[in-house]
Structure 1
Amino acid sequence: MAKEIEGYEGYVNTVLPFKTVGDLVLSADVLYPRQKPSSPAPVLIHYHGGFLVFGERYTFLPEWLAQASVNRGWIFVTPDYRLIPETTAHDSVEDAVDLYHWVSESLSSLIDRELGSVVVAGSSAGGFLALTTSVVVKAKPAVAFLIYGMLDMINVHYLTKGSNIFGQPVFDTTETREYLKNIKDKPVLTGYAFPADPTQDPRLKIVSTLHIDATFPDYMTGVPGLSDKVVQNGVEAIPAEHRKLYPLTFGRLDDLPPVLIVHGQNDTAVPVTLSEVAVQKLQAAGVSVHAEFPDNAQHGYDAAAGRRLESELGGDLSGSGFDSLRKSLKVLDQIIG
């Protein structure tokens, strides 16, 4: 599968295992300069999206971000992580954090390259992982870059029943709820490619069901009925051992690095409100935040950029959404440079 992120001039791609859990081997794609740089190369880690339920490191690879890393002589890393609902978001976060530590402690010797600053980035659910990782780890990254992220997972959006993603119709979730009753008996997945027909895919029906029934908190934590308890009693209903999954509410934010946020105002899968709340809470904690809220940037819109965002061929990529990505990269350059 490494072929899918080949073709970056002057770069080598290799797949390296970074963690083993039972029979599961979690790996990361590492894109790094063929020739040794004369100075330490910054590393950009990207966590893929998929609502924590599906996706893998190829399905939602932001080629524009990988190309931006290549343009700057950086190293680009994109990893597996365990998916819910067969397991909980605790495992997803643990994998994201372990990958971060692996990059910091082991990657240099494995690829024989000296590493510089580390940037954590993520799209959608990957934005949640990037933010949570930044809060959890002691040695902070240089920047967190959050792209239409699921940043506030106890927002009213995830506690309100009766709506589906992308404006799709609400359906009877009985069949999927029956399947979910025995979900802990199913094998844990570390990736699930985006299906050819998403409207009929059972995995995507799980995502819709978690939205329609407002049970994301239940399956993130493994606590049945948690969403209803939060609605009734507020966030204090979340047990202490699960609070690290909600860093904007319970995490320490005042020691975070600069945060870049891009989120379209017309996003119908992850509402822009989640990022707006994040900006408010981060700035209140004294964090430096650069936020872009383009008016026309639907969820996943950046995939259309391919590798062209910063190239001469990218001139047709006009509009506030792509301009927001370019502006964010300039801010990133200022911080890392």
Structure 2
Amino acid sequence: MDDPKYSKFNVSTTVYKTVNGQDIDLGVMIPKDAHSGARPVLIHFHGGFLVTGHAMYPEWFANWAIDYSLLHSAIVVSPNYRLFPESSGLEILSDIRDFWTWIQDDLPAYLKSVGSEVTPDYSKVLAYGESAGGYLAIMSGLTKPDLVKAVIAAYPMTYIDADWYRVASSTKAPMGAPQVPVAVFEEHVKGTPEGKIFTGAFPPERMPLVLSILQSGAFSGLGDDESLFPDRVLEKLSADRKVPFLFAFHGTEDSAVPCEHTQKFVGKWEEKFGQGSVVGKWEKGDHGVDAVTTLEEPWLQEGLTDVTKAWIG
């Protein structure tokens, strides 16, 4: 939490949920120059294929997103959540639901408890995430449309029922990573005590596990419930349903999460909710295409202009 990237925030952590006697925490970052009173809220969901990553891992919180939150003096809240394969997809989503309950019921009192004079403006809530976090941001937008005004999904996992995630293949080499035997995944599962959960890991921890799961198609273990899949949730919604504005972007050469999935999902969103409900940007690059992107980047500016209108007004 003392990373230079967070130097302009007052940072603290707290527990929002306990499972099997094991705490699940979140981080709260309040801009040091934020004036007292109601402030916009930016929720950041970390990536990591739902297998690794941590709410406060600075390498996966893009510089432009930090600058964007500071630009609007937004309260930033980033939750950890149960990770796969120790937990199922439904268990992960239940953590996200409980997190949103904490945001609505407990955030004001928590801010006061840490001595802050800012309060959350619930009319200005933005959900943002990258990769697996993009998936969770989209799911939040679809299930909490009365609260979430805009969603930023950076190279998100969307069609997690696709062959990419559920069929074994030796051609999957994210960012040039080596092939990792399925035994790494199998032995990990065998060695995990019943009831043990994992809720955060700073990469490279669990990265071999990520590769073993992806390359062996083991994401089928997330489950098959309809509520796990953004496209199926979207399909069931009425076209006149209130939804947040969606800004999605993806690197066209992404070797970890297929760009065409995001392009397809953006098309489905626009088809359902109409022009002006979504903006998609496709930029040359691999996973993490925004790694060195700044707020001055034209394609990012274009998307964020519409996000800001929906979020801030």
What's the TM-score once normalised by structure 1's chain length?
0.79
- Cα distance in 2 between the residues matched to 1:16 and 1:331: 32
- Cα distance in 1 between the residues matched to 2:2 and 2:102: 20
- Cα distance in 1 between the residues matched to 2:92 and 2:105: 20
| Contact 1:18/1:27 (8 A) holds in 2 | yes
SS in structure 1 of the partner of residue 287 of structure 2: coil
More strand per residue: 1 or 2? 2
Quote the residue 1:244 is aligned against.
227
Structure 1 position 91, deviation (Å): 2.0
Please list the CA deviations of residues 94-141 of structure 1 after superposition, one character each: whole Å capped at 9, or x if unmatched. 222222222222212321423221111110000111111222336340
- Cα distance in 2 between the residues matched to 1:204 and 1:277: 28
Q: Does 1:114 align with 2:94?
A: no
**Of 227, 246, 249, the match for 1:262:** 249
Quote the residue 2:101 is aligned against.
101
Structure 1 position 145, deviation (Å): 0.9
Q: What do you get for the CA RMSD once the two structures are aligned?
A: 2.4
| Contact 1:2/1:29 (8 A) holds in 2 | no
**Of 11, 14, 23, the match for 2:12:** 14
Q: Does 1:303 align with 2:291?
A: yes
SS in structure 2 of the partner of residue 291 of structure 1: strand
Structure 1 position 5, deviation (Å): 5.0
The one-letter amino acid of 2:17's match is K
SS in structure 1 of the partner of residue 102 of structure 2: helix
Q: How many residues align?
A: 295
Structure 1 position 86, deviation (Å): 0.8
| Contact 1:54/1:192 (8 A) holds in 2 | yes
Matches within 5 A, 1:31-110: 31-34=29-32, 37=35, 40-59=38-57, 60-110=60-110
| Contact 1:19/1:27 (8 A) holds in 2 | yes
| Contact 1:81/1:95 (8 A) holds in 2 | yes
- Cα distance in 2 between the residues matched to 1:262 and 1:126: 13
Structure 1 position 81, deviation (Å): 0.9
| Contact 2:82/2:91 (8 A) holds in 1 | yes
- Cα distance in 2 between the residues matched to 1:87 and 1:159: 17
- Cα distance in 2 between the residues matched to 1:101 and 1:118: 14
Residues 298 and 36 (structure 1 numbering): CA distance in 2 closer, same or farther, change over 3 Å? closer
Gapped regions of structure 1 (runs ≥ 5): 196-200, 222-237, 315-321
Structure 1 position 170, deviation (Å): 3.5
Residues 286 and 86 (structure 1 numbering): CA distance in 2 closer, same or farther, change over 3 Å? same
**Of 128, 134, 144, the match for 2:135:** 128
Structure 1 position 161, deviation (Å): 2.3
Structure 1 position 142, deviation (Å): 0.3
Quote the residue 1:25 is aligned against.
23
| Contact 2:41/2:76 (8 A) holds in 1 | yes
The one-letter amino acid of 1:276's match is Q
- Cα distance in 2 between the residues matched to 1:41 and 1:215: 42
- Cα distance in 1 between the residues matched to 2:272 and 2:87: 32
SS in structure 1 of the partner of residue 261 of structure 2: helix
Q: Tell me the percent identity.
A: 26
SS in structure 2 of the partner of residue 303 of structure 1: coil
Residues 154 and 43 (structure 1 numbering): CA distance in 2 closer, same or farther, change over 3 Å? same
